[in-house]
A and B are shown apart, each in its own frame.
Chain A
Amino acid sequence: MVPLENYLALSAIVFALGVYGVLARRNAVMILMSVELMLNAVNINFVAFAAYLDPGRIVGAIFAVFIITVAAAEVGLALAIVIRLFRNRATANVDEAATMKW
């Protein structure tokens, strides 16, 4: 069978890719996609922990359900904001919305 560490490593790599995406990308939608990657990496971890280490209480699985819920809400709101941004500034690139500075 597959040991727990494999899941953890997979999750770590996917999470790191998500981090890179968030930091490197300009387009807000792409940043959101990277965030989704990070959330899914976390979910893998949660479910793996629940299945391996905590089969009695399965809190991790329950948490995954909530994360999916919150992620859905977040995506919906964030995309609405992106559309708003685009409508106001004709761009979806976050580095072009840079008026909040010195």
Chain B
Amino acid sequence: MGAEQAWVLAAIPAGVFLVLALFGRALPRGGDYLGVAAIASSFILFFVVLADFLDTPGKLGPVVNDIQWSKIGDTFDLRMGIYVDPITIVMFAVVVTVALMVNIFSIGYMKGEPRYHWFFAVLQLFAASMLMLVMADNLLLLYISWELVGVCSFLLIGFYWEKRSATEAAKKAFITTRIGDVGLLIGIILLWRAGGTFNIQELIHLAEEGHFSQPYLFTALAFIFIGCMGKSAQVPFHVWLPDAMEGPTPVSALIHAATMVVAGVYLTARLLPMFEVADGMLLTVTIVGLITALLTGFIALAQTDIKKVLAYSTVGQLGFMFIALGAGEPAVAMFHLMTHAFFKALLFLGAGSVIIGTHHNQEMDRLGGLWKKMPITGTTFLIGSLALAGLPPLAGFWSKDEIFVALEHKWGAWAVILLGISAVTTAFYTTRLFIRTFMGKPADTHVYEHTRETPPVMTGALVFLAFLAITSGFVVFHEVGKALGFPGGITEFIFLPHHGPHEYELKWGFAAASLAMAVVGIFSAAWMYWGNDLRRATALANWQPGLYDMLRRKFYFDELYQGMIDRGVLGFSYIVSWFDRYVVNDTGVDGSAQITGFTGGVLKYLQTGRVPNYAMAVALGVIGLALAGLVVRG
């Protein structure tokens, strides 16, 4: 099997999805082993694909394999196929690794839950859709996978549909991303209209040749970017992601690390050559990323739910990725995407482990001091936290450092300073999260007493991910890449054609600044929360209650949207319902029925039942027709 057959990676989980969805209930243990086996075989086959890809003659040229989809006349020839290039390879690696870990972890986490088989079935479909998404060579196939991913997230977030908050969250996620999806669809249609093709590479080629006019290209890409913002939860579409925590925690890990949210980053990276051609598009991407990173960094400071903190952290880190893309560095974005995927999956699964270990407690106000009770979870969680905070030599440090370098190179110091603030808040809330959960004295002794370490099937996944969270950052180095069989570090693997590969070099100034930001954040958080002592934090909150309330309530985004919906949508729907009731229903429907009834009531007397009358009508009709004929003939 070669890289041309990479579609098999998606086909296996998709097939298993069908099996599990149809027969999972009847299988022993809900068929979870089938799910794990499917994703594991994809994991193994990924390395086959990778080896073949690295051996491809012509070194790292993209692999294309397409078939005719439908052909209408001579003008509309729709082809579908797969396109495997370094970006796809990195996405493959992230998706299969995280999906495999999540599947294994879920065996422990979901034990005894209702609809166990259905959970595993949808996980497979989720992974399959995401794999299909990242290897689609045309926007239409990509859009289909994109929507499939959305549906899967809807199903999984609303997995506990008996809970009202879960269905609400699922709805919110689906509708919010849908708004973006409409933008994506409009963008795809605009590009197709002017370019006449859905093929991504052809479209990029056309854009680089100046086939599209500047305003047109900007409009189309802006619409596509709205889709990316919706999927990747960028401000102002970020509101769905924290609520998506209603789903089972492994799902949160999957959504946040490997699938769903990174789809937007992936699509932007994939289309980045076009974004570069359109004036102002990169700046737009950068600003959206900066706003997101800053706002969510501050919101996360005041959240007390473990998963909520992690959720806002994810939104912020996605902002970092968009910033890297806005700086025109797909390699850096993909690098951060990968390292983030590993440590964020680790953190989420760690949170899941805490939730199971403490018998469903995820409020920091009731936790604390768990490290002693849950040593493996605590240690791996610490590794993930430090990676997220950006402490060397963990993975997060290298990718964040690269983002700073790229940002400064492209947009200058102002952007770096803004991002630096966000990096400090990141380190701060991460440390706060860790201290309040795992260190100091327990906030609730009852919870503490009953806490147990989770089974090996869960901690095993944590350890594996912790290993990746430590090491995955090193792929930036030329020597590490070479040793793994790549042409070099990640920046020599992924690059824009006209920029060419460049070797990574450590910029000491940036590294020192980056480290300083992490240290400032960590130490200030440690000073404030050490020993799970909230006196200093409470004093700070009381000093500026308005500010604290604003952060705790997430800058009032939900209230704002709710108000907009209440006033705008409900007001408008009131008018519509009035119109429907009185104009459409009473006047239109009832009116036409009344007119019909009245006319019939009058005209029914024509039906005398007397045959001579009918015969008379026939005769008069004949005379009339004959006269008409004579008149026409002249």
Contact = CB atoms under 8 A, between A and B. Distances in A.
Question: Do A and B contact each other directly (Cβ–Cβ < 8 Å)?
Answer: yes
B605 A19 contact: no
A38 to B, nearest CB: 11
Q: Chain A interface residue count: which class?
A: 10 to 19
Contacts of B607: 100-102
A99 B605 CA distance: 13
B616 A23 contact: yes
B72 interface: no
A101 B607 CA distance: 5
Contact of A101 (B609, B615, B616, B619): B609
A24 B615 CA distance: 10
Contact of B612 (A95, A99, A101): A95
Nearest to A101: B609
A97 B609 CA distance: 8
Contacts of A95: 610-612
Interface string A1-34: 0000000000000000001001110100000000
Contact of B615 (A23, A26, A99, A100): A23
Contacts of A78: none
A98 B615 contact: no
B612 A100 contact: no
A94 B604 contact: no
B608 interface: yes
Contacts of A100: 607, 609
A100 B610 CA distance: 8
Interface string A80-102: 00000000000000110111111
A94 B619 contact: no
A98 B619 CA distance: 20
A19 B619 contact: yes
A101 B614 CA distance: 12
Contacts of B619: 19, 22-23
A19 B620 CA distance: 11
Nearest to B604: A102
B611 A94 contact: yes
In this complex, which of A19, A22, A97, A102 has the most chain B Cβ atoms within 10 angstroms of its Cβ?
A102
Interface string B596-634: 000000001101111110011001000000000000000
A98 B610 contact: yes
A22 B615 contact: yes
Contacts of A97: 611
A24 B612 CA distance: 8
Given A23-B616, A98-B609, A99-B609, 19 more contacts: A19-B619, A22-B612, A22-B619, A23-B612, A23-B615, A24-B612, A26-B612, A94-B611, A95-B610, A98-B608, A98-B610, A100-B607, A100-B609, A101-B609, A101-B610, A102-B604, A102-B605, A102-B607, A102-B609
26 contacts: A19-B619, A22-B615, A22-B619, A23-B612, A23-B615, A23-B616, A23-B619, A24-B612, A26-B612, A94-B610, A94-B612, A95-B610, A95-B611, A95-B612, A97-B611, A98-B608, A98-B609, A98-B610, A99-B609, A100-B607, A100-B609, A101-B607, A101-B608, A101-B610, A102-B607, A102-B609
